[in-house]
Amino acid sequence: MRFSFLNVARQALAGNSGWPEQWRSAEPKAAYDAIIIGAGGHGLATAYYLAKEHGLTNIAVLEKGWLGGGNTGRNTTIIRSNYLWEESEAIYEHAVKLWEGLSRELNYNVMYSARGVMMLAHNQHDVHSLKRHIHANRLAGIDNEWLTPAEANAFCQILETSEAIRYPIVGAALQRRGGTARHDAVAWGYARGASARGVDIIQNCEVTAIRRDAGGAVSGVETTRGAIATKKIGVVAAGHTSVVMAMADVRMPLESYPLQALVSEPVKPLMPCVVMSNTIHAYMSQSDKGELVIGAGTDSYTSYSQTGGLHIATHTLEAICELFPMVRRLRMLRNWGGIVDVTPDRSPIIGRTPVAGLFVNCGWGTGGFKATPGSGHVFAHTLATGEPHPIAAPFSLDRFRTGRLIDEAAAAAVAH
Ligand code: FAD
Ligand code: PYC
C-alpha cells in the first residue's frame, strides 16, 4: 500500500497512523532502502532530496507525533547566513540560496521573505564582534553591512535609538537577504514533494528500538506500530537525538534544553524586518498575520519539557519593551516551547556514526530552522552515497574525538 500525503494527513486526523494492519507485528514485514526517524523540516527535506536527486524512493519517514510538530512548527523562523566561521558560512549560505528558490522548487508557497535581519550593538564589544562578522561574511561573498543608529532607526522606525534606554544602540549589522518563512509550510511542502515521489510518511509512529545484525550493522527499527527492516537509518530527531542514538548504543555529545517563543495579539504592520539583540537578549519580527513574534532564551538547565521557565519569557518581554517602547501595551496571545539539542561547540553534527548504516543529523540547537533546505540537501547526499557532502564534511561526529571544533558560540544570534 502506497500512502499519499493527503491520505496520511486524513488518517492522522482520524487518530490512525496509516500503518497497514498486516505490519503490526513483532517481525518486520516491510523493507525500506532507508528510514528517516523524525518528520521535522530536516527529516522531510532529507527525504525529498533523497527521492528527487538520488532516485531513492523506497524510503519511509517515521514520526512519533505529527508532521512538523517538533521544533519546525515551534520556532521563530529567522533565516540568515551571517555566521563567523567558513564552515558555518558555507552551510547556512547554501541553505539561504535554496530558500530563495524554495517556493518554486516545491510548488508550495513557503512565504520566504527576505525582509532583512538586523543585529544590534550596545557596547564596544558588540561593535567589534559584529564588525568582525561583517568582514568575514563579505570576504565569503555573503551580504552584511554596518548601520549607524540613525540608519538602524530609518530601517526599523519603532526601534528606540535614543540615549534614553539602559543600553543605548551604538550601531547594527544588517543582512538584507536574511528574513523569515512560514514554518509549517516548509514541512508540508517538503512532505508533499517527497510523498509525490513515493516516500511513505508515517505519523504517530514512535521508534522505540534500533535493531542490529550479528556484525553490529543496523537491520531495522522497532516502533509503536511494529517492526520494519532496513539497512540504512538517518536519525533527524532534534531534541531527542541522544535518546534515539542510545538505542544503537551511541553516546552523543548533546544536551537538550527548552527554548521558548511567544506571539502578541495581531496588529497592523509596524515591524518591517527582524531585529535581534544579543546583549539585551530579545528578538522580534512580525508575522504576516500581524502577530509580533518574540523569542525568549533557553532554560538554564537541561529538560525535555516543552514549556520552559516563565521567568525566561518575562525577562524577554522586559527587554522587548525597552527596545520597542510602543509595543508595551500589547497583550501576549500564546507562549510555547520546543526542545533543542546543543553540542559543545554550538555547531551541528551531520554524517556517519560508528555503527554501520546509521547516520545522524542533529545539534542545530537554537538555530536550525534557517538551515532546513541546506541540511536536508547535504544529508541526503551523505545517506545516498555513504560519504559526507563536502559542505557537511567539517560537521562530522568525529570532531569531538579529534578536537577539530567549529566554535560558533560567539556567533550565535542571541545569547542562548
Ligand atoms: P524537529 O522539527 O524537532 O523534528 C524532529 C522530529 O523528530 C519531531 O517531530 C519529533 O517528534 C520526532 N521524533 C523524536 N523522537 C522520535 C522517535 N523516537 N520516533 C519518531 N520520531 C521522533 N532556528 C532558526 O534558524 N531560526 C529561529 O528563529 C529559530 N527559533 C527557534 C525558536 C524556538 C522557540 C525553538 C524551539 C527553536 C528555534 N530554532 C530556530 C531552532 C529550530 O527550530 C530547529 O533547529 C529546527 O527546527 C530543527 O528541525 P528538525 O527538523 O531537525 O527538528
Ligand atoms: O538562529 O537566528 C537564529 C535564531 C533566532 C532565534 C532563535 N534562533
The three grid cell numbers given for residue 377, joined into one nine-digit string: 540537501
Domain assignment of residue 91, yes or no: no
In the sheet that holds 59-62, the strands lie side by side as 200-202, 59-62, 34-37, 233-235, 358-362, 349-352
End position of a domain, from candidates 342, 363, 392: 342
Q: Nearest Cα to 349, choosing from 371, 318, 331?
A: 371
Domain assignment of residue 93, yes or no: no
Q: What is the pTM of this model?
A: 0.94
The string of pLDDT tens digits covering residues 239-263 is 999 999 999 999 999 999 999 999 9
Protein residue whose Cα sits closest to atom 4 of ligand 2: 367
Q: Is 76 in the pocket of ligand 1 (CB under 6 A)?
A: yes
Task: Verify that 171 and 272 share a domain, yes or no.
Answer: yes
Domain assignment of residue 20, yes or no: yes
Task: Verify that 353 and 245 share a domain, yes or no.
Answer: yes
pLDDT of residue 232: 98
Contact 147, 174 (CB under 8 A): yes
Domain assignment of residue 97, yes or no: no
Task: Verify that 376 and 234 share a domain, yes or no.
Answer: yes
Task: Verify that 167 and 268 share a domain, yes or no.
Answer: yes
Q: How far is the CA of 330 from the centre of ligand 1 (A)?
A: 28
Task: Verify that 262 and 337 share a domain, yes or no.
Answer: yes
Contact 174, 82 (CB under 8 A): no
Domain assignment of residue 57, yes or no: yes
Task: Verify that 147 and 49 share a domain, yes or no.
Answer: no
Domain assignment of residue 236, yes or no: yes
Task: Verify that 198 and 225 share a domain, yes or no.
Answer: yes
pLDDT of residue 307: 87
Pocket of ligand 1, candidates 17, 66, 71: which has the most ligand atoms within 8 Å of its Cβ, to mutate? Answer: 71
Domain assignment of residue 68, yes or no: yes
Task: Verify that 189 and 213 share a domain, yes or no.
Answer: yes
pLDDT of residue 409: 64
pLDDT of residue 8: 47
Could you list the pLDDT tens digit for every one of the 416 residues in the chain?
Answer: 344 444 544 554 455 544 555 444 566 767 999 999 999 999 999 999 999 999 999 999 999 999 999 999 999 999 999 999 999 999 999 999 999 999 999 999 999 999 999 999 999 999 999 999 999 999 999 999 999 999 999 999 999 999 989 999 999 999 999 999 999 999 999 999 999 999 999 999 999 999 999 999 999 999 999 999 999 999 999 999 999 999 999 999 999 999 999 999 999 999 999 999 998 888 999 999 999 999 988 999 999 998 889 899 999 999 999 999 999 999 999 999 999 999 999 999 999 999 999 999 999 999 999 999 999 999 999 999 999 999 999 999 999 999 999 988 655 555 55
pLDDT of residue 1: 39
Domain assignment of residue 48, yes or no: yes
Task: Verify that 60 and 169 share a domain, yes or no.
Answer: no
Task: Verify that 15 and 70 share a domain, yes or no.
Answer: yes
Neighbour-count burial for 178-216, b at 16+ CB within 10 Å, e otherwise: bbbbbbebbbbbbbbbbbebebbbbbbbbbeebbbeeee
Which atom of ligand 1 is found nearest the CA of 43?
51
End position of a domain, from candidates 293, 313, 342: 342
In terms of residue numbers, what domain contains 309? Answer: 117-176+255-342
Residue written as grid cell 511567544: 262
Task: Verify that 172 and 297 share a domain, yes or no.
Answer: yes
CATH number at residue 159: 3.30.9.10
Quote the number of domains for the chain. 2
Residue 274's φ and ψ, nearest 5 degrees, are -105, 135
End position of a domain, from candidates 324, 342, 360: 342
Q: Is 99 in the pocket of ligand 1 (CB under 6 A)?
A: no
Q: Is 413 in the pocket of ligand 2 (CB under 6 A)?
A: yes
Task: Verify that 333 and 273 share a domain, yes or no.
Answer: yes
Interior angle at CA 266, CA 263 and CA 272, nearest 5: 85
